[in-house]
Amino acid sequence: MELIDSSLTAALTGSEVANSLLAFSRQHAAKLETVDIKSVVHDQVQLLKRAAGRKVTLEEVLADDAHLIIADTAQLRCAVTNLVVNARDAMPDGGTITVCTYNTMLAEEEISAENGLKAGDYVVIEVVDSGVGISPENLQRIFDPFFTTKEVGKATGLGLSMGYGFVKEMKGTIKVASDVGKGSSFSVLLPRATELLTIKSPTIAPSDAPAPDNGHKTILVVDDDDLVRKSVIAQITSLGYNTIEASDPAAALEIIGSKQPIDLLFSDIVMPGPIDGVELARLAGEHRQGLKVLLTSGYPDLKTSHSSDMLQTQQWAVLKKPYRRNELQRVLQDALSSALGNRLAPAH
């Protein structure tokens, strides 16, 4: 069950990154909810342990009495992820990252025009690394959009600036302390919730219902992101289906062109290269007439797809990320029971 929980968290995170980019460009409204900071940070740290690498030890020290906050959970997860990833990259030879949460109170004398905070109770999320540290000249620029000291192609320079923008939007701030050669500390301060919103924070709640007997059905899962693909396979397998995986459309077409039994193609739409998920669906239909298709995407604007016009013409069903296990189960059943392979009712 732990594998399914972490896998679902990974699947949700893929869409959260896209949504945070939209929030950064102010094209996506924040979804404010009451957040249990310990639960959210713990879930994210457990997920990130798998990506930290063998040389890095990721530890957590989370206060049991951490205040509730009002925030956008998706953007909060991304902010924690960006801080941990930056800490990992600051330790090329390995080291320790410690993620802490605790309560603090700011008095009137601690408030300044610079930090823009109000006196009161706050929750602190602190990410401390034992890495190379940040030089004083770079420390002044780390939150500037597109600023990065990493090699070309290794980073966008948006991670910390997105996190900073989110924290400011939540009426908080980020404090940074760094010692060259000894490491850095990023402390995110977010104000305590003064009232509880009726919307509940997302939780990982696997279904107690037994997996149906779908062992005679085989689904080809195509996604270029290894972590997301593995998480999707874990979910589909838990629903009782057989799965075959492909990391790109070319590999998927080889499988489709073979004699392996496939009942449904389940592919991400936006993938690098000349063939995206929509074009893959079209080519799959040429190789195997009647092959049923279900596409998925975390992008709210599918004009980013090379074949967006074809998607509208063919009316393939699109399951929007993030999705829950019960939603995936329903849409897969609908797709497999459809009389036509490439003409499915839109997924909701």
In total, the chain counts a number of residues equal to 348
At residue 34, does pLDDT exceed 70? Answer: yes
At residue 156, does pLDDT exceed 80? Answer: no
Taking residues 99-106, report their average pLDDT: 95
**pLDDT at 38 (0 to 100):** 92
Average pLDDT along the chain: 78
| Chain segment 203-232, per-residue pLDDT in tens | 444 444 444 555 579 999 999 887 778 878
**pLDDT at 247 (0 to 100):** 92
Encode the chain in three state secondary structure: CHHHHHHHHHHHHHHHHHHHHHHHCCCCCCCEEEEEHHHHHHHHHHHHHCCCCCCEEEEEEECCCCCEEEEEHHHHHHHHHHHHHHHHHCCCCCEEEEEEEEEEEECHHHCCCCCCCCCEEEEEEEEEECCCCCCHHHHCCCCCCCCCCCCCCCCCCCHHHHHHHHHHHCCCEEEEEEECCCEEEEEEEEEECCCCCCCECCCCCCCCCCCCCCCCCEEEEECCCHHHHHHHHHHHHHCCCEEEEECCHHHHHHHHCCCCCCCEEEEECCCCCCCCHHHHHHHHHHHCCCCEEEEEECCCCHHHCCCHHHHHHHCCCEEECCCCHHHHHHHHHHHHHCCCCCCCCCCC
Find out whether 10 and 47 touch, Cβ atoms under 8 Å.
yes
Q: Which residue has the higher pLDDT, 22 or 94?
A: 94
Taking residues 89-113, report their average pLDDT: 88
**pLDDT at 8 (0 to 100):** 45
The domains of the chain are located at 2-191, 218-337
Q: Which of 8-17, 83-92, 301-310 has the lowest mean pLDDT?
A: 8-17
Q: Which of 202-206, 279-283, 309-313 has the lowest mean pLDDT?
A: 202-206
* CATH, domain range 218-337: 3.40.50.2300
* CATH, domain range 2-191: 3.30.565.10
Q: What is the pTM of this model?
A: 0.52
Q: Which of 112-116, 167-171, 294-298, 299-303 has the lowest mean pLDDT?
A: 299-303
**pLDDT at 100 (0 to 100):** 96
Assigned token pair, 297: 């995407």
Q: Which of 245, 243, 250 is nearest to 227 (CA)?
A: 245
Could you give the CA distance from residue 135 to residue 133 in angstroms, rounded to a whole number? Answer: 7
Q: Which of 90-94, 153-157, 257-261 has the lowest mean pLDDT?
A: 153-157
At residue 193, does pLDDT exceed 60? Answer: yes
If pLDDT is split at 50, 70 and 90, which confidence band does 199 have? very low
**pLDDT at 213 (0 to 100):** 53
User: Checking phi first, is residue 256 left (phi over 0); if not, alpha (psi -120 to 50) or beta?
Assistant: alpha
